[in-house]
Structure 1
Amino acid sequence: MKRFTTLAAGLLLIVPGQQAAPVVTAVSTTVLTTNGRTALTYTGYMNGESFQQDGIVTDGGRQYAAFWDSDGYVNLSRRQLPSGAWQNLRLTDYRTTSTDSHNVISIGIAPADGTIHLAFDTHSSVFRYRKSVAGLTGSAPWAASSFGAVQSSLTSTSMAVVTYPQFFAHPDGTLQLAIRTGVSGTGDEVLYEYRAGAWTYVGEFIDGTTYNNNAYLFGIEYDNTDPATPLLHATWTVRETSDASTNHDLFYAYSRDKGRTWRNNAGTVVATTGSSPLASNAAGLKVWSIAQNRGLINQESQVVDAAGIVHVLASHLPASAPSNTNFTAARESAVLVHYWRDKASKVWHQTYTPFLERSSRGDIAVDAADNLYVASGDSSTKKLHIETASKASGWTDWTIRYTSAAIYFSDPLIDHQRLKTQNVMSIFTPRYGGSQIDVQDWRVSG
C-alpha cells in the first residue's frame, strides 16, 4: 500500500517529537568563471542542466567542475578542498557552434586509474568525448596536453544520434556510461563500461523505440549498502511524443550485476541488457502513476542514500489541479514532489511540497546522515532556493533554508559526493545572463 503525504501550499508539516529539517550555514561563494556561454535556449544555458551527471564532482581531496566559455571551448577546473583556488584548463582544439542547452559537459572519473572523461556537445547528434591520461586525479600534470583527442565513439558501435551522457562508477572502480540513442519520443538507453583503460559496449538496457516512445532517466547510480553486491538503481519517466506534455508515470528497475540483468520493484529478473532489454513503459515497472498533461518535467533528479533508499525529485501539478495540455502553462503551477522507495518493504512513498520552479529543475542530494537537500531555481523570480528534510521525520518536514537574491538562472547542480562524505554542499549555479557561474559552499547540520 502506498503512503501519501501532502504538504499544502505554505504549510510546513512536522510530526511532534521528530527533529526539524536540517539547517545550512554559508561558508563561501567562489566564482568559477565570468566568461560562461550566454546563449539561452530551451529555458536554460549550456552550463547548468539537471541531466548533467556530473557537472561538479569531488574525488579524493579535489573538486572538479566543467563549463563552456563564451568562445565555445570546453573548460575543466579543479580546486583543492576545502578552500583552494580554482585551476582552469581550456581545451581549445574543439570549438562548439551550438547554442543548444542540451549540449552540456558531463564529467566521469574512473577510480581504477584516475582518468577523467568528458562527454559533451551532443543533442540527437554525433557523440563527442575525450579522455585524460591515467592519474590526472593524482599527480599527472594539470594541463590541456593531459587530454587525448576528441572522439566520436567509444567502441565500434555507432554513436551517431545520441543525447544525455551520464557517467557513474561501480564501487569496485569500474566506470560506466548510460546514454540515449535516437530522439525525443522514440529512443533507447544503452550502456558502456570502462575497464583496464578501454571501453566496451554492454548493450541496450531500455527499449523505447519498439513502443514509439523514450525513457528519460531521473538518474542511474549505485548504492553501497552491500559492498559484495552493490545495486544499480535507475528511475525514469516516459515521453510518448516530442511534446513534453506526454511525459507520464514513474518507472523503476535495479540490477545486481552491473546492468547485465534487471529486476523490477519486487526483485524479479525481467530483462537482460543487449538481448531482452527493459520495456520503457512496462506496467510491471511503473511504481507511481502520473498522467499525461500534468506538467511533469523529465530528468529532474535521483539520489540513493546510505541505507539503499532511492529518492526521486520530480515536479508536476498538485493532485488538486486540473490537467493542462499546455506544458509551459502547466509548469507555472507545478510543485516539487519527493518520491522514495523503502528498501526493506519495497513500498514507494510520495510527499508533495509547496515549492515552485516554473521551467527550472532541481537537484536532490543526501548527507552522511541520510537527510535530504534540494537546490532549486525559479525561472520566474530568478532566485535560488535550498530546501531540506530530515530522515527523522520520514522526509516530510520540507523547509526552505535559503533564498538568494534574484540573480540565478538555469538548473543548479549539487556536488553529491562532497555532501555525502564531508557534509558540505557545493552548488554550481549560473547567474542570470550566463556569463558568471558561482559555486556556493554550505555547511550542513541536522
Structure 2
Amino acid sequence: MRRSLCAVAGVVVCLTATPAAQQAAAAAPTVTASTTTVLTTEGRTALTYTGYMNGESFQQDGIVTYNGWQYSAYWDQSGYVNIARRHLPSGAWSSLKLTDYATTSTDSHNTISIGIAPSDGTIHLAFDTHSSQFRYRKSVAGLATSPTTATWSTSSFGSVQSALTSTSMDVVTYPQFFAHPDGTLQLAIRTGYSGTGDEVLYEYRSSTWTSLGTFIDGTTAGNNAYLFGIEYHTYDAATPLLHATWTVRETSNASTNHDLYYAYSKDKGRTWRNNAGTVVAATGSNPLVADANTLKVRSIGQNRGLMNQESQVVDAAGIVHVLASHMPASSADNSDFTSARETAVLVHYWRDKATKVWHQDYTPFLERSSRGDIAVDAADNLYVVSGDSSTRKLHIQTASKASGWTDWTIRYTSSAIYYSDPLIDHRRLTSLGMLSIFAPRYGGSRIDVQDWTVSG
C-alpha cells in the first residue's frame, strides 16, 4: 500500500503510513549534509520570468564534474561571465572573470551552459542567448583533461563568437551540450521563437564544429519542442543511444504546452527512432515532427499547467526518466498558467526498456513556478531537487529502484532562503556518490553549492 502524504504550502508536514509504507519510505535513499560552499556573493540579481540568470532548469550543464574537478559558471552583477572550478573533494573555488564581454540583459533565459569535449579537453561556454544572436567561446585544448598542468587563466579562453559554422545563428535559444562516449561533443539549440521553432544539432570533432541540421521541426506546424533533456546512455558500449524527450508548445502562451514526446538515435543523431524502435526521421533532410502522434508517449492536455524543460536522466539499465510538473488528473483545466502552477505537482515518467511502456507516477510535491532536476546514482536510485517559488524552500526527494521508484520521500527541506531552479551535478552523483546542488539564494547575489553524501 502506498503512503498518504499531506502538503501545506508545498512542504510535507504529515505522513500517514502503514507498516508497508513505512518500509517503502525507509528504502528510499537518505542524504547526509557534508558541506556547503559559497560559489559567489556577487551573482546577478535581476529577477525575470520568476527566476535568475543563474540557475535555470535548461542549463545543460550549469555545474559538472570532469576528471576529478568540478566546474560551474555564473553571471556577476557587472554582467560578466565567470567560470569557476575546484579540485574535488574539498578544494576551494577558483573563479575567472571574463571581462571582454558584458551583458546588459536581465532576462533569466540568458543563462550560461558548460560543455566539456573529452576528445581534446576544451571547455565550451554558450551564453546570453534568448531568441537572439548566439554567443559562445571555448578554451584552449587540455584545460579539462590536464587541469593540474594547464594554465587556469582568462587567457585560456578564446574570443566571443556569434556562430559555430557558416550557418547563421541569429535567432537561437537554449544551448545544451552533451558528449558521446567516443569523445565527440554535441550541441542542441532552438532556432526561432517560442511557439514556432526548430531544434538543430551541431557536432564538435577535431577542433571543428559541423552543422548536422534540424532534428526536430516545429515551424512547419507553427509550434516548437521544449526539451526535457537530451543525453547519451552507454549500457551498450558498441552503440550508445542518444535519448531526447520534449513537450510541445502551440503558441507563446505556456498554457498551450502539451504531451510528452520521445525519440532516440543510434548514430549520433543522424537518424531517429520512435518509441517502438522504428526509424522515422533523419536530421537535416527529414527531421522529427515535433507533435507527431507516432512520437507521443504520454498524453497531457493543454491548460494543465504543464511546465516545459524540467529534467531528464537515463539510468544504468537504459531506463529513461523524465521529471515533469502539471496539475493532478483530478483538477479541472485552467488556462491561466500562473494560477494552474499553484496546484501543479511533480510527476515522474519513466520508460521500461524491455517493454517500451511509459509509466506515470504522481508525487505529492508542489513547486509553483520553479522547476526541479532529476538525477540517478550508480545503483539507479533517483534524486529530485526542487524549489518552491512561494515558500522559497529547497527540497530533496528520493526514490529507490527496489520499489520501482514509488517510495518518493522528502529527505531535506531548507530554510526559506532559496529561489530560481536548483541544478544537480549529474556526473558527480553517478561516478562519485556525492549529490552536489547549485542553489541560488533568494535575492540572487549568493549562490551556494551544497554537497550531500547519499546512501540507499
TM class, shorter-chain normalised?
Answer: over 0.9
Counterpart CA distance in 1 for 2:389 and 2:21 is 32
Counterpart CA distance in 1 for 2:334 and 2:304 is 6
Q: Which residue of 1 aligns with 2:158?
A: 148
Contact 2:3 2:16 in 1 (8 A): no
Report the AA paired with residue 351 of structure 2. R
Q: Which residue of 2 aligns with 1:164?
A: 174
1:258-407 equivalences under 5 Å are 258-407=268-417
Once the two structures are TM-superposed, the CA of residue 31 in structure 1 deviates from its matched residue by 0.1
- State the secondary structure of the residue aligned to 2:141: coil
Q: Which residue of 1 aligns with 2:237?
A: 227
1:149-228 equivalences under 5 Å are 149-228=159-238
**Cα RMSD between the aligned structures?**
1.3
Counterpart CA distance in 2 for 1:12 and 1:285 is 39
Counterpart CA distance in 2 for 1:161 and 1:91 is 24
Q: Which residue of 1 aligns with 2:105?
A: 98
Q: Which of 48, 69, 75 is the aligned partner of 2:76?
A: 69
Report the AA paired with residue 90 of structure 1. K
Report the AA paired with residue 203 of structure 2. E
Counterpart CA distance in 1 for 2:4 and 2:270 is 39
Report the AA paired with residue 77 of structure 1. A
Q: Does 1:89 align with 2:99?
A: no
Once the two structures are TM-superposed, the CA of residue 8 in structure 1 deviates from its matched residue by 6.3
Contact 1:6 1:353 in 2 (8 A): no
Contact 1:375 1:414 in 2 (8 A): yes
Q: Which of 36, 51, 72 is the aligned partner of 1:44?
A: 51
Q: Which of 56, 59, 80 is the aligned partner of 2:87?
A: 80
Counterpart CA distance in 2 for 1:41 and 1:267 is 41
Counterpart CA distance in 2 for 1:294 and 1:7 is 23
Contact 1:12 1:398 in 2 (8 A): no
Normalising by structure 1, report the TM-score.
0.97
Residue 317 and residue 391 in structure 1: after superposition, are their counterparts in 2 closer, same or farther (change >3 A)?
same
Counterpart CA distance in 2 for 1:16 and 1:44 is 36
Report the AA paired with residue 48 of structure 2. T
Once the two structures are TM-superposed, the CA of residue 393 in structure 1 deviates from its matched residue by 0.2
Contact 2:227 2:309 in 1 (8 A): yes
Contact 1:219 1:234 in 2 (8 A): yes
Contact 2:3 2:21 in 1 (8 A): no
Q: Does 1:252 align with 2:252?
A: no
Once the two structures are TM-superposed, the CA of residue 44 in structure 1 deviates from its matched residue by 0.1
Q: Number of matched residues?
A: 442
* Aligned structure 1 segments of 4 or more residues deviating by more than 2 angstroms: 5-19
Report the AA paired with residue 99 of structure 1. T
Contact 1:390 1:397 in 2 (8 A): yes
Contact 1:177 1:193 in 2 (8 A): yes
Contact 2:3 2:22 in 1 (8 A): no
Q: Which residue of 1 aligns with 2:12?
A: none
Counterpart CA distance in 2 for 1:332 and 1:16 is 29
Q: Does 1:126 align with 2:136?
A: no
Contact 1:15 1:393 in 2 (8 A): no
Counterpart CA distance in 1 for 2:179 and 2:453 is 26
Report the AA paired with residue 204 of structure 1. T
Residue 82 and residue 12 in structure 1: after superposition, are their counterparts in 2 closer, same or farther (change >3 A)?
farther
Contact 2:71 2:85 in 1 (8 A): yes
Q: Does 1:27 align with 2:34?
A: yes
Report the AA paired with residue 110 of structure 1. A
- State the secondary structure of the residue aligned to 1:329: helix
Counterpart CA distance in 2 for 1:264 and 1:7 is 36
Give unmatched runs, 5+ long, in structure 1.
Answer: none
Determine what percentage of the aligned residue pairs are the same residue: 79
Counterpart CA distance in 2 for 1:345 and 1:271 is 22
* CA offsets 1:368-402 (integer angstroms, 9 cap, x no match): 10000000000000000000000000000000000
